[in-house]
């Protein structure tokens, strides 16, 4: 016989000591739940047997109440689906709670207001709402070794160890922290031991925890101009003041930073592959930045989000590896090398701060889900991670070459390409007179998802686009570039 899952149990309060009969109490509770929107049209309700057992009464009052609700049209029976809330209830009966709150009774005080986040955009960027060509951050998911991944997932699903189901370690799963430390020491020249690695749910959380723990409301933070908007926003959310510092061909201009705000409390940088211009910070700028941090008593937050993919040279060593005074907080992510919906990343914390980060973590969220951490630890230690990165480097290298060629053919020298030596995106600079946001909005109709460069600036913006190529195909690129050409009038 087909088994039907039982519905979610609404709050049904029955009181035996009052004179109101039980069936009437059950009927009233259901009616109220339907009227206040707690139960929605079409939603399944529990069988009479289940409800009777849950609220500790015999089935008779429940049967009576259900019969009444069915007769009055609040509930309906569906073959194979059990009893559900009627799908065609009149709207006034199911008006949502927020709508009714406007008509609060007289004498009721004003509703408290949420904390103001005036610096944060209230609407989502339209170009991040579709999966058209050039969407920034999209990976070649069809090339992901899904068979291997599924085997590892199945292996951990079969693991009945009670510890796996309990709260995980606050700093993250031990095998994953060890695997990351080994990887970072070798591949990124990061100075670290497993004890310094904190697993987070992506770079975004790493930046947030750093801001909460290391900075105060009012702290001034150098941010790259143009830069990664979500980092800027998270500093602002924590009450810090982002100070835009220009980026040139050598990366963040430290001298300009010192002139503008010598006493800043932190600098946020993407030295391996600056977002969005793609420059690599020069060795002398790195030294200068570390020196400034030492003198100013400031932190450096290094976001090393996609440095695994370099096409013209070997990967550049991390900035953290240059720092002998424990000023750098190193941040990495699996969003580019695996895929972003995993929501897993990591940070490397100076040894003397580990305890404080641990305490912060305990209050914030009690750690990350253990399951996928264990899967990734196996993926790394069994060699699949390194193999996947090597394969993707070749593929993204081809996509990038195809994109640069196609842009060159379509636009000649009317469009300047920058920052294509690494990563999964490049940036194009438009000639004067173009408005990138308008073009990006029109591009959505052509199924192009192009990110306007101007949105990455706090002050005077240049016009252009950040074009992701990880989610495109070699075959698809020429057509997508032709569409882009059609949208940009070249003088
Ligand atoms: C500069 C930069 N840092 C970090 C990330 C990744 O963030 P997360 O790890 O939160 O997915 C991105 C994603 O596009 C990025 O552009």
CA nearest neighbour of 318 among 264, 278, 281: 281
Prediction pTM value: 0.86
What's the rounded Cα separation, in Å, for the pair 135 and 127?
A: 8
DSSP 396-452: HHHHHHHHHHHHHHHHTTSSEEE--SBSSEEEEEPPTT--HHHHHHHHHTTTB--EE
* Count of CB atoms situated within 10 Å of the CB of 310: 18
User: What is the structure's pLDDT at 87?
Assistant: 84
- Closest-CA residue, ligand 1 atom 2, reads 305
What's the rounded Cα separation, in Å, for the pair 398 and 474?
A: 7
The reply to whether ligand 1 has any atom less than 6 angstroms from the CB of 134 is no
| Structure tokens given for 150 | 């599924």
| Structure tokens given for 210 | 């750093």
- Closest-CA residue, ligand 1 atom 12, reads 305
Backbone dihedral region for residue 427 (phi beyond 0: left; psi -120 to 50: alpha; all else: beta)? beta
What's the rounded Cα separation, in Å, for the pair 269 and 2?
A: 58
- At 63 the three-state DSSP class reads helix
User: What is the structure's pLDDT at 117?
Assistant: 64
The reply to whether ligand 1 has any atom less than 6 angstroms from the CB of 228 is yes
Q: Evaluate the CA torsion angle 340, 372, 361, 266 in order and state its sign.
A: negative
- At 121 the three-state DSSP class reads coil
Contact present, 275 and 250 (Cβ < 8 Å): no
CATH no., domain 145-382: 3.40.640.10
Contact present, 415 and 428 (Cβ < 8 Å): yes
User: What is the structure's pLDDT at 1?
Assistant: 42
Using CA atoms of 257, 184, 198, 381 in order, give the dihedral in degrees to the nearest 10: 160
CA nearest neighbour of 333 among 468, 168, 203: 203
H helical segments located in 72-145: 97-101
What's the rounded Cα separation, in Å, for the pair 458 and 129?
A: 22
The reply to whether ligand 1 has any atom less than 6 angstroms from the CB of 340 is yes
Q: Residue 9 to residues 77, 285, 295, 306: CA-CA distances in angstroms?
A: 17, 62, 61, 46
- At 47 the three-state DSSP class reads coil
What's the rounded Cα separation, in Å, for the pair 212 and 239?
A: 9
Contact present, 152 and 371 (Cβ < 8 Å): no
Beta pairing class for 345-348 and 328-333: antiparallel
- Closest-CA residue, ligand 1 atom 13, reads 137
Mean pLDDT by groups of 10 residues along the chain of 491 residues: 57 84 92 87 90 90 93 87 82 53 69 70 73 93 97 94 89 97 95 97 97 96 96 94 96 98 98 95 96 97 94 87 94 97 97 96 93 97 97 97 96 91 95 90 93 93 96 95 89 56
| Ligand 1 pocket: which of 137, 138, 198, 203 to mutate (most atoms within 8 A of CB) | 203
Say which residue the tokens 């007769």 belong to. 71
User: What is the structure's pLDDT at 162?
Assistant: 86
| Structure tokens given for 260 | 């503008």
Q: 163: which DSSP letter?
A: H
- At 239 the three-state DSSP class reads coil
| Structure tokens given for 145 | 């070794």
- At 198 the three-state DSSP class reads strand
User: What is the structure's pLDDT at 6?
Assistant: 59
What's the rounded Cα separation, in Å, for the pair 196 and 52?
A: 53
Q: Evaluate whether 22-97 and 126-138+387-487 have a shared fold.
A: no
What's the rounded Cα separation, in Å, for the pair 406 and 417?
A: 11
Nearest ligand 1 atom to the CA of 340 is: 11
What's the rounded Cα separation, in Å, for the pair 328 and 89?
A: 59
| Structure tokens given for 114 | 């949420």
User: What is the structure's pLDDT at 429?
Assistant: 96
What's the rounded Cα separation, in Å, for the pair 28 and 69?
A: 10
What's the rounded Cα separation, in Å, for the pair 6 and 21?
A: 26
176, containing H or E segment = helix 174-188
Which residues sit opposite 47 in a β-bridge?
none
CA nearest neighbour of 423 among 127, 136, 129, 190: 136
The reply to whether ligand 1 has any atom less than 6 angstroms from the CB of 303 is yes
Say which residue the tokens 């924590």 belong to. 238
The reply to whether ligand 1 has any atom less than 6 angstroms from the CB of 470 is no
CA–centroid distance, residue 282 to ligand 1 (Å): 22
User: What is the structure's pLDDT at 116?
Assistant: 64
The reply to whether ligand 1 has any atom less than 6 angstroms from the CB of 203 is yes
User: What is the structure's pLDDT at 164?
Assistant: 83
| Structure tokens given for 140 | 């070649």
The reply to whether ligand 1 has any atom less than 6 angstroms from the CB of 272 is no
**CATH number of 22-97, picked from 3.30.70.100, 1.10.600.10, 3.90.420.10, 1.10.10.10:** 1.10.10.10
Question: Please, how many CA atoms are within 13 Å of residue 253, restricted to the half-sphere of its CB?
Answer: 14
Nearest ligand 1 atom to the CA of 205 is: 10
CATH no., domain 126-138+387-487: 3.90.1150.10
What's the rounded Cα separation, in Å, for the pair 275 and 207?
A: 15
The residue ranges of every structural domain in the chain are 22-97, 126-138+387-487, 145-382
């Amino acid at each position: 016989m087909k088994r039907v899952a039982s519905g979610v149990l609404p709050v049904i309060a029955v009181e035996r000591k009052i004179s109101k009969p039980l069936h009437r109490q059950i009927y009233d509770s259901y009616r109220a739940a339907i009227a206040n929107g707690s139960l929605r049209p079409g939603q399944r309700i529990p069988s009479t047997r289940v409800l009777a057992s849950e609220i500790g009464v015999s089935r008779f009052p429940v049967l009576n109440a259900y019969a009444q609700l069915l007769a009055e049209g609040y509930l309906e029976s569906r073959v194979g689906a059990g009893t559900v809330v009627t799908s065609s209830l009149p709207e006034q009966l199911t008006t949502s709670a927020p709508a009714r709150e406007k008509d609060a009774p007289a004498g009721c005080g004003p509703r408290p207001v949420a904390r103001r986040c005036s610096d944060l955009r209230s609407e989502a960027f339209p170009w991040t709402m579709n999966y058209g060509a050039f969407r920034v951050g999209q990976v070649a998911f069809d090339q992901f070794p899904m068979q291997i991944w599924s085997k590892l997932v199945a292996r951990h699903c079969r693991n009945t160890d009670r510890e796996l189901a309990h709260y995980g370690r606050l700093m993250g799963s031990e095998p994953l922290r060890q695997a990351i430390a080994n990887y970072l020491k070798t591949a990124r020249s990061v100075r670290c031991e497993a004890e310094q690695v904190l697993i987070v749910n992506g770079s975004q959380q790493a930046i947030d925890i750093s801001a909460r723990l290391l900075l105060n409301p009012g702290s001034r933070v150098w941010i790259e101009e143009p830069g990664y908007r979500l980092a800027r926003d998270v500093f602002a959310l924590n009450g810090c003041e982002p100070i835009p510092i220009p980026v040139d061909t050598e990366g963040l201009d430290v001298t300009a930073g010192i002139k503008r705000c010598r006493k800043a409390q932190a600098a946020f940088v993407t030295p391996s592959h600056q977002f969005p211009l793609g420059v690599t910070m020069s060795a002398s700028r790195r030294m200068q930045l570390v020196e400034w941090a030492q003198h100013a008593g400031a932190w450096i937050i290094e976001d090393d989000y996609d440095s695994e993919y370099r096409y013209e040279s070997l990967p550049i060593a991390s900035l953290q590896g240059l720092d002998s005074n424990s000023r750098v907080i190193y941040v990495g992510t699996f969003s580019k090398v695996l895929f972003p919906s995993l929501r897993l990343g990591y940070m490397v914390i100076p040894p003397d701060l580990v305890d404080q980060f641990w305490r912060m973590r305990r209050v914030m969220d009690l750690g990350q889900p253990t399951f996928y951490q264990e899967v990734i630890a196996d993926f790394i230690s069994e060699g699949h991670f390194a193999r996947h990165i090597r394969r993707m480097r070749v593929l993204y290298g081809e996509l990038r070459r195809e994109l640069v060629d196609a842009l060159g053919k379509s636009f000649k020298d009317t469009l300047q390409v920058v920052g294509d030596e690494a990563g999964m995106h490049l940036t194009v600079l438009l000639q004067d007179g173009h408005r990138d946001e308008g073009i990006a909005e029109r591009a959505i109709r052509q199924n192009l998802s192009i990110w306007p460069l101007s949105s990455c600036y706090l002050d005077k913006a240049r016009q252009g686009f950040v074009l992701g190529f990880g989610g495109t195909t070699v075959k698809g690129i020429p057509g997508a570039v032709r569409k882009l050409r059609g949208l940009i009038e070249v003088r």
